[in-house]
Amino acid sequence: MSPEAGTTRARKRRLDPLVGTARNHLRAALELLPGAPVPAAEPPLLLVACSGGPDSLALAAVTAYFGRPRRDGTRAFRVGAVVVDHGLQPGSAAVAGRTRAQLEQLGLDPVQLRRVSVQAAGMGPEAAARTARYAALEAAAAELGAAAVLLGHTLDDQAEQVLLGLGRGSGTRSLAGMPARRGLFLRPFLELRRTDTEQLCRIEGLAPWHDPTNTDPAYLRSRVRTRVLPFLEEELGPGVARALWRSARILRADADYLDSLASAEYARLRSASAEGIELDRAGLAGLPDAMRHRVIALAAAEMGGENPSYERLLAAEALLRRQGSAGPVQLAGKVSVYRRVRTQRVPQDARGYGNLVFRTTGQPADH
């Protein structure tokens, strides 16, 4: 055996276990992608959403491996990236430029840099930045014909998300955290810790940017990250973050199952009316609480509303008892719901009395 061959084999044996683990997580995430209906002329494109931070930069380095030519000269994927500059901090353009240079050195192509304008009207700065960022990522994916956009969220991000949901008093869907896949978006690193992505950057010789807002106590998520989770780990013992991540996985499976049942019930109880959408009173009243709340939320969503709070769901549900006001009850997103009473026109068989009617706010009820 030649010295060169021996050196090559030794180099292959020295693959860092963490790199191998990260590649396996990404490989499993890519299996969530639907297969192409017809063979493509070129390999599908993966876009990494990269801020320059340790999580997304490590993800870019790991994803680059899947864009390398195989022994037969073909490639399973093309790998590119999108760097979104929110323009919210001094020097953000320089950070975006350095990030783009590192991505190109990793072999990613194309690498797009998109500058966005963050409009915070009606929402907090974090939500406004998130909205602008996802819009830019979706636009880039559509323009480039990407098969998926990869996001660098980690197990720690998931734990923080669950704690934020608990603090808001949210339901099962919110406590289920971030999904591994939603539409074009994949999160391959949800089982890796933030310390893992920092180590991956060191292994790859990358220089990540550390966003100062991640430790700024002015932001709720930053306080959860720097104060709440460390306190829980200290008081309850190590493993709290992983336990929260595990709870999110369990709750996601439960939420998916309940949502599928609710969709079937909604289709059974829903009918169109002149005002908007109508739900059958008797059928709705006969559902378990968890199912009834989901069906009401589905009606609000179809009318263009937001997910109602628990308090608003209870108020809408109370209309079914025929006690007190028949409404309307205001739901989030300019949607209201009222109970049809006997002074209103209903079909000749009178089965519509007591039904819940959902309409857009400002549309007059049919009294």
> At a CB cut-off of 8 Å and minimum separation 6, what does 272 contact?
278
51 assigned binding-site residue: yes
6 assigned binding-site residue: no
In this prediction, residue 172 has a pLDDT band, given cuts at 50, 70 and 90, of confident
56 assigned binding-site residue: yes
**CATH topology for 3-250?**
Rossmann fold (3.40.50)
pLDDT tens-digit map of 211-231: 888 888 888 899 999 999 999
- Apex CA 22: angle with CA 79 and CA 95, to 5°? 55
Amino acid at 249: R
Residue 287 has pLDDT above 90, yes or no: yes
What's the CA gap between 245 and 355, in Å, rounded?
40
85 assigned binding-site residue: no
Asked whether 297 and 255 are in contact (CB, 8 A), the reply is: no
What's the CA gap between 276 and 283, in Å, rounded?
18
Work out the average pLDDT over 171-178: 86
Residue 323 has pLDDT above 70, yes or no: no
How many CB atoms within 10 Å of residue 364? 7
Tell me the DSSP string of 117-143: ----TTS-HHHHHHHHHHHHHHHHHHH
Q: Phi and psi for 23 in degrees, rounded to 5?
A: -65, -40
55 assigned binding-site residue: yes
Q: What is the pTM of this model?
A: 0.83
Q: What is the residue-averaged pLDDT of the chain?
A: 87
Delimit the domains of the chain by residue range: 3-250, 273-360
117 assigned binding-site residue: no
Residue 112 has pLDDT above 80, yes or no: yes
- Apex CA 355: angle with CA 332 and CA 170, to 5°? 35
Q: Of the segments 67-76, 100-109, 170-179, 213-222, which one has the largest average pLDDT value?
A: 100-109
DSSP 76: S
Tell me the DSSP string of 250-312: HHHHHHHHHHHHHHHHHHHHEEE-SSSEEE-HHHHHTS-HHHHHHHHHHHHHHTTPPPPPHHH
41: which 2 tokens?
A: 């002329």
3 state SS of 367? coil
pLDDT value of position 9:
46
Find the length of the chain: 367
How many CB atoms within 10 Å of residue 92? 16
Asked whether 82 and 48 are in contact (CB, 8 A), the reply is: yes
Per the rule left: phi > 0, alpha: psi between -120 and 50, beta: everything else, 332 is beta
Asked whether 83 and 237 are in contact (CB, 8 A), the reply is: no
In this prediction, residue 324 has a pLDDT band, given cuts at 50, 70 and 90, of low
